[in-house]
């Protein structure tokens, strides 16, 4: 497949990545359609009986359940799972030239970024910066409106996700900067809304021009 142009959103759990992605999908950018690929949501769909994308096995489903329940990361040897899921998503959306893929939850480390290079060209990286204290408050108060029904918001799992963000995901900033990607750092507080974050990105220097 021809790599699609994309925006990647990274940041701690609860910072508002999913609501922001939904705003992109609703409004687009400069008249261009955006499709929000929420990897966590797609994994939850894949774990539903009868919904596993073609080419994945029962063992893959078991691993997906481990990712969801224990916060595991897909390493290189499991990347075929992500590849199938993202390929299925792009085909389902009916991508056309000029459309933008908004990535949320994938890639989460540089190994995944390298594996994804043939599928998606990340031209903008949005870094949502939120303190651990505000993360816990946003999740507790459901500031983004997207935590209802979530089963992965236990305190210990949130702490583990914050460690993964610092140790595995944050190096993506240097990785994409070295590849000429535009980096937008946006502060997120307890009261920050997806609307506010979207507006700040759109008005920032170098916002998606690809």
Is 49 domain-assigned?
Answer: no
The verdict on residue 158 lying in a domain is yes
Domain count, the chain: 1
- Residue 155: domain span: 4-39+99-202
- Convert the pLDDT of each residue in 93-103 to its tens digit: 989 889 999 99
On whether residue 20 sits in a domain, the answer given is yes
pLDDT at 197: 95
- C-alpha–C-alpha distance, residues 14 and 29, integer Å: 24
pLDDT digits (tens, 9 = 90+) for 147-157: 887 777 788 88
CATH code for the domain in which residue 151 is found: 3.40.50.300
For residue 110, give the H/E element and its range. Answer: helix 110-116
Asked if the structure places residue 126 within a domain, the reply is yes
Is 89 among the domain residues?
A: no
Within a domain: 50:
no
Rg (alpha carbons) of the chain, rounded to whole number = 16
Asked if residues 196 and 186 have their Cβ atoms less than 8 Å apart, the reply is: no
* 52-91 confidence digits (pLDDT tens): 788 888 888 888 887 777 766 677 778 888 888 998 899 8
Q: How far apart are CA 25 and CA 58, in angstroms?
A: 31
Predicted local confidence at residue 181, as pLDDT: 94
Distance, in Å, from the CA atom of 203 to the CA atom of 210, rounded to the nearest integer, reads 16
């Amino acid at each position: 497949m021809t790599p699609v142009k994309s925006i990647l959103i990274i940041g701690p759990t609860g910072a508002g990545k999913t609501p922001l992605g939904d705003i992109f999908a609703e409004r687009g950018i400069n008249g261009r359609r955006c499709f929000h690929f929420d990897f966590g949501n797609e994994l939850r769909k894949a774990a539903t009986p009868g919904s596993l994308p073609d080419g994945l096995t029962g063992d893959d489903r078991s691993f997906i359940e481990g990712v969801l329940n224990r916060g595991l990361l897909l390493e290189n040897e499991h990347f075929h799972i992500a590849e199938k899921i993202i390929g299925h998503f792009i085909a389902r959306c009916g991508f056309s030239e000029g459309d933008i893929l908004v990535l949320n939850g994938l890639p989460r480390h540089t190994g995944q970024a390298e594996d994804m290079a043939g599928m998606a060209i990340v031209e903008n990286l949005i870094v949502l910066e939120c303190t651990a204290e505000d993360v816990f408050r946003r999740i507790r108060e459901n500031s983004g409106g997207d935590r209802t029904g979530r089963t992965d918001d236990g305190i210990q799992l949130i702490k583990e996700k914050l460690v993964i963000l610092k140790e595995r995901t944050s190096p993506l900033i240097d990785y994409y900067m070295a590849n000429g990607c535009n980096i937008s750092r946006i502060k997120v507080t307890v009261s920050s809304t997806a609307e506010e974050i979207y507006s700040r990105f759109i008005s920032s220097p170098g916002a998606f021009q690809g």
